[in-house]
Amino acid sequence: MIKKILIANRGEIAKRIIETCNRLDIETVGIYAQDDAKLAHAEEADFSVNLGRGTLAQTYLNQDKIIKIAKENNCDAIHPGYGFLSENTDFCKKIKENNLIFIGPSVAAIELMGDKKTSKIKMEALGIPVVPGYHGEDQTEGILKEKAEGIGYPVLIKATAGGGGKGMRIVRESNEFSDALAASKREAMNAFSNDKVLLEKYIEKPRHIEVQLVSDGKGNHFHFFERECSIQRRYQKVIEETPSVALDESLREEMCATAVKIAEGIDYQGAGTIEFILDQDGAFYFLEMNTRLQVEHPVTEMVTGFDLVELQIEAANGEAFDFKQEDIEQMGHAIECRIYAEDPDNEFLPTTGRIQKIEVDASTDYRLDCGYYDGSSISTNYDPMLAKLIVYGEDREEAIEQMQIALNSVVFGGTKTNRDYLKRLLNHDKFLAGDIHTHFIEDEKVGLTFEDPSEEELAVVFACALQSELTSIMNSAWVNRFTPTDKTIIVAGE
Ligand code: ADP
Ligand code: ADP
Ligand code: MG
């Protein structure tokens, strides 16, 4: 039985895992890079280990060091979160060699599904529909181009080892092929040290619909319905919701049953997500499987009432779940907005700064998954996602309304974020009508552009900047010469 878990991640996801462990009376060991010493995951774990300064390879991706810390601290298991080492089979193997439990699927499942090529071959063998394309061994440019012409433009080039939207390039005409291939290979090599690619027919204006799966430790497979993640920029999700307005009961059943069939077909264990692409005619195709917890898992938790991290731990313990598929219900509607430190009016480029989080309205029910504290510095070393805001409503309309209120309630000052952009997205006629697809952000660019901020918004930004200045003054050596009582007087004076 798992009694103590090392969490090999940072920020909101590490904090999220700690919360479930606390509820289950499981001890937690956190790890943090020196610069993250004051973040929630470093502070809230029962025990935390400083990984020191250095590159990602020396800190959060330092497999041997992380396993050594787990052993020294008598952990039974390691939870990898998402990103980082969550889909790294070397890490997974080493964990097992050290007699620790990896909270996730088997090495074989990650190996098979982590590669877009091998997973597509397996899906074809299982009779699952995949996007037409080429995923052969021959990677010479001549052959690839010939295959692209055979598929017919537009074609999408993808890195077989890809993730996070990296290495993807659309080719609309034959003369663009060479440059796009070179760019894709370059990006893939940088990100994954592997520049193999595959080709897919590029589907115009599809929806991204995915199905959450969890398989227990005894070979029982369950689906937790769908999530619609069509609102994306640079192939990365921005708003996710469940249920999807694009599915009627029969299509929902068919997609969920297909996902369960995949879990059975690969003898899966633990949490995973099958991503599908749904075209405008209602046909769906397997896109990829993410063999881990997903960023957007909270919306599923809200409508089903299950704690997916708890289920991951139970599965890793080898336990059978004590419920049946019929016990899992989809109730109401949930939406998640990813709050990014980025500038939507400047190509979504990441921004930096010192954040000051202000929650101003406690009258709305919202879940804020955030690993940062007031005064945290935002660097470009990590993912620009600052937090996730998740709300629930009886129906979609109510959930959108709740999200607008929640977005007004949570303000991140001191750095440019996409908060106002999210509000514009949610307020867009087509979004309100559920008329969305993965190219929505690009196609509706004009209607989503920046308007001058209201006086109220300017006041908040100004207040945040002031607050941020005050915090740094309060933490300075100069102020620390004063007694705590004097400090209180200074703060009260703000
Ligand atoms: P999700 O569907 O959960 O949003 P993403 O594919 O967008 O999944 O990735 C989740 C997180 O993991 C993001 O922060 C992304 O940058 C990171 N990520 C995903 N795949 C990889 C990978 N192969 N290597 C490094 N980081 C990755
Ligand atoms: P990643 O591993 O980077 O998440 P995916 O294969 O899941 O890569 O694709 C990410 C996104 O790219 C999808 O959500 C979708 O918006 C778009 N996409 C992927 N494949 C296709 C395709 N064949 N046609 C159109 N869009 C696609
Ligand atoms: Mg994906």
Q: What is the pLDDT along the chain (494 residues), one digit of tens a residue?
A: 999 999 999 999 999 999 999 999 999 999 999 999 999 999 999 999 999 999 999 999 999 999 999 999 999 999 999 999 999 999 999 999 999 999 999 999 999 999 999 999 999 999 999 999 999 999 999 999 999 999 999 999 999 998 888 999 999 999 999 999 999 999 999 999 999 999 999 999 999 999 999 999 999 999 999 999 999 999 999 999 999 999 999 999 999 999 999 999 999 999 999 999 999 999 999 999 999 999 999 999 999 999 999 999 999 999 999 999 999 999 999 999 999 999 998 999 999 988 887 776 666 789 999 989 888 889 888 999 999 999 999 999 999 999 999 998 888 888 899 999 999 999 999 999 999 999 999 999 988 987 666 666 677 667 766 776 676 666 665 555 555 554 444 444 33
What pTM, to 2 d.p., does this model score? 0.90
Q: What is the distance, to the nearest Å, from the Cα of residue 280 to the centroid of all Cα atoms in its chain?
A: 25
Whether the link from the prior residue into 132 is cis, omega within 30° of 0, is no
Query: Which atom from ligand 1 is nearest to the alpha carbon of 292?
Result: 3
Is the CB of residue 142 less than 8 Å from the CB of residue 150?
no
Ligand 2 centre from 237 Cα, in Å?
11
Instruction: Please tell me the predicted confidence (pLDDT) of residue 362.
Output: 64
Ligand 3 centre from 489 Cα, in Å?
52
Is 79 near ligand 1, meaning CB less than 6 Å away? Answer: no
How many other C-beta atoms are found inside a 10 Å radius of the C-beta of residue 289?
28
Query: Which atom from ligand 2 is nearest to the alpha carbon of 204?
Result: 25
Instruction: Please tell me the predicted confidence (pLDDT) of residue 414.
Output: 86
Ligand 1 centre from 14 Cα, in Å?
15
Residue positions annotated with a catalytic role: 292
Is 163 near ligand 2, meaning CB less than 6 Å away? Answer: yes
Is 83 near ligand 1, meaning CB less than 6 Å away? Answer: yes
- Buried/exposed 462-477: b ≥16 CB within 10 Å, e otherwise: eebeebbebbeebeee
Ligand 2 centre from 437 Cα, in Å?
12
- Buried/exposed 70-92: b ≥16 CB within 10 Å, e otherwise: beeeebbbbbbbbbbbbbbbebb
Is 350 near ligand 1, meaning CB less than 6 Å away? Answer: no
Is 294 near ligand 1, meaning CB less than 6 Å away? Answer: yes
Tell me which ligand sits closest to the C-alpha of residue 277. 2
Tell me which ligand sits closest to the C-alpha of residue 87. 1
Instruction: Please tell me the predicted confidence (pLDDT) of residue 365.
Output: 85
Count of alpha carbons within 13 angstroms of residue 492, beta-carbon side: 6
Task: Provide CB contacts within 8 A for 176, sequence distance 6+.
Answer: none
Whether the link from the prior residue into 243 is cis, omega within 30° of 0, is yes
Is 187 near ligand 2, meaning CB less than 6 Å away? Answer: no
Tell me which ligand sits closest to the C-alpha of residue 292. 1
Instruction: Please tell me the predicted confidence (pLDDT) of residue 66.
Output: 98
Instruction: Please tell me the predicted confidence (pLDDT) of residue 364.
Output: 75
First vs last C-alpha separation in the chain = 52
Ligand 3 centre from 288 Cα, in Å?
6
Query: Which atom from ligand 2 is nearest to the alpha carbon of 133?
Result: 23
Query: Which atom from ligand 2 is nearest to the alpha carbon of 131?
Result: 23
Measured CA to CA, the distance from residue 491 to residue 468 in angstroms comes to 13
Q: Between vectors from CA 442 to CA 147 and to CA 435, what angle results, nearest 5°?
A: 100
